[in-house]
Amino acid sequence: MVYMATLPNQPLTEEQYLAIEREAFEKSEFHDGQMFAMSGGTPNHALLSNTIGALLHRQMPLGCRTFNADLRIKASKVGLYTYPDCAVICGDLEYFGDRTDVVLNPVLIVEVLSPSTENYDRGKKFESYRTIASLREYLIIHQDRRQVEYHSKQDDGSWLLREYTGANGVIPIPRLQVTISMAELYASALGLD
């Protein structure tokens, strides 16, 4: 997603953010006391977000579900509220508080890179995502070229990066018994050679 201007200058509490966000027409992410309004993405961003969701959905093992960017996820330890482009949750959804509009337990998160958020998605946002106890997989999908960065949490708690490029090949996600075809993922993307 592309970020627009930061909202109020004074830090907000999480409760204030949620009260504003639940009434808002547009979605905003929240971190370090600040709301960040989200604007629409490019056609490739939208195509790739939909495609990865569909590819994951059709292969999900029983008990796992694929969600689009309408699902708000919280990284509790750091207070990040975000709307990833795609997320997978296995088992029961764990909610924050007594409402069902903030989820705490994704096992896989996908972000499609935008030029304005590329550094954030790879840096501070990924650092925040790594504090989510249930998270095991993080995919970063480039929209301007055929490239996917796949981060997987290892048994020792470290994260391993594997990069996939080009039109051929598959991305195996063994924990979910899923393989993502690079050809299928990028089949509808615009302007790529």
Comparing C-alpha atoms, which of 143, 141, 140 is closest to residue 191?
143
Which pLDDT band, with edges at 50, 70 and 90, does 126 fall under? very high
| Distance separating alpha carbons of residues 162 and 146, to the nearest angstrom | 14
Q: Which of 41-45, 102-106, 136-140 has the lowest mean pLDDT?
A: 41-45
Q: Hey, how many other C-beta atoms are within 10 angstroms of the C-beta on 113?
A: 22
Residue 47 near residue 188, CB atoms below 8 Å: yes
- Would you place residue 30 in the very low, low, confident or very high pLDDT band (cuts 50, 70, 90)? confident
Q: How far is CA 79 from the centre of its chain?
A: 16
Contacts of 130 (CB under 8 A, 6+ apart): 153, 159
> What average pLDDT score do residues 61-71 get?
95
Q: What pLDDT, on a 0 to 100 scale, did the predictor assign at position 190?
A: 86
Residue spans per domain, the chain: 41-185
Return the CATH fold of 41-185. Answer: tt1808, chain A (3.90.1570)
* pLDDT at position 27 over 60: yes
Residue 104 has pLDDT above 90, yes or no: yes
Residue 131: is its pLDDT beyond 60?
yes
Of the listed ranges 18-22, 27-31, 93-97, the least confidently predicted one is 27-31
Q: Band of the pLDDT at 17, cuts 50, 70, 90?
A: confident
Q: What is the pTM of this model?
A: 0.89
Does 7 score more than 80 pLDDT? no
pLDDT reported for residue 187: 94
Which residue is listed with tokens 């088992």?
Answer: 91
> Distance (Å, rounded) from C-alpha 75 to C-alpha 55?
25
Tell me which long-range contacts 145-153 makes (C-beta under 8 A, separation of at least 24): 145/192, 146/182, 146/186, 146/189, 146/192, 148/180, 148/182, 148/185, 149/122, 151/126
